[in-house]
Amino acid sequence: MKYVSVSVENGIAQVRLDRPDKLNALALDTLDELITVAKKLRKDRTLRAVVIAGEGASFCSGLDIAAAMRTPSRIVKAFIPAPWRGTNRFQEACWAWRRIPVPVIAAVHGHCYGGGVQIALAADFRYATPDSKWSVLEGKWGIIPDMSGIRSLTEVTGPDVAKRLTMTAETISGTEAQRLGLVTELADDPVKAATAFAESLLTRSPDALAAAKRLIDGALTSSARRTFARERRAQIKLLALPNTKILRKAVMSKSTPDFQPRSRP
């Protein structure tokens, strides 16, 4: 990996955008690496959580347009969606993190612009410094967020705020981003706070966490009737899984549960 690094300890993956000399601006290679890492983590049934952050002074300053324009043929190819998943390379670099069946937490500091916002929004939770800088920067260049950002921004903030941020391309602080719903929690050290939150989830059944993520994400686009049916099926399966029994025994004995790998890939 050239621009993305990853390490896993105690079931928690620490993923880093690792191009600090360019404020972690997204090269086309970065997109490929993000997809590759996300796919690999998705298959790891012992994985319990992911923390994604940026090395150096910023989380991510957006797409490195100058570098991308040096290889226009790659840009054209990157826009072509894969028919089996419905996303192109730009979109999958973000949406792949939504497909991971464990909690994904973004830890944001410094700049979080354009594609950086869309990567952060692909996480389930966002921890950020109060002085971090957020902008849906695409509007400055006469374009729109196209790395799954239209969907995720609308989900997180609601349509009116999503339109405002997309149309104005204004820069807001982490404090304002929290007020608008972009940020889950403010922290002076977001990586430390995000990791602590991830560690707090280690005592919860990995199967229940996966089901919760899958069902809540699905509820955003499903009818109530379909959501209820999914709830029933998931609950019946959870009641019979070994990890549910392990947790129940641990709660009754006031001990720390020793979970098996997640049942669903």
> pTM for this structure?
0.95
Q: What is the DSSP letter of 248?
A: H
Answer yes or no: are the C-beta atoms of 59 and 118 closer than 8 Å: no
Closest CA to 132 of 145, 146, 116: 116
SS3 label, residue 217: helix
Q: What is the dihedral of CA 192, 193, 198, 203, to 10 degrees?
A: 110
Answer whether residue 222 shows pLDDT above 60.
Answer: yes
Alpha helices in the chain (DSSP H): 28-43, 65-68, 72-79, 89-98, 115-121, 149-157, 159-168, 174-180, 190-200, 206-219, 224-240, 242-253
Alpha carbons 131 and 133: distance in angstroms, whole number: 6
pLDDT tens-digit map of 80-112:
999 999 999 999 999 999 999 999 999 999 999
Mean pLDDT of the chain: 96
pLDDT in tens, 169-221: 999 999 999 999 999 999 999 999 999 999 999 999 999 999 999 999 999 88
pLDDT tens-place string over residues 42-87? 999 999 999 999 999 999 999 998 888 888 899 899 999 999 999 9
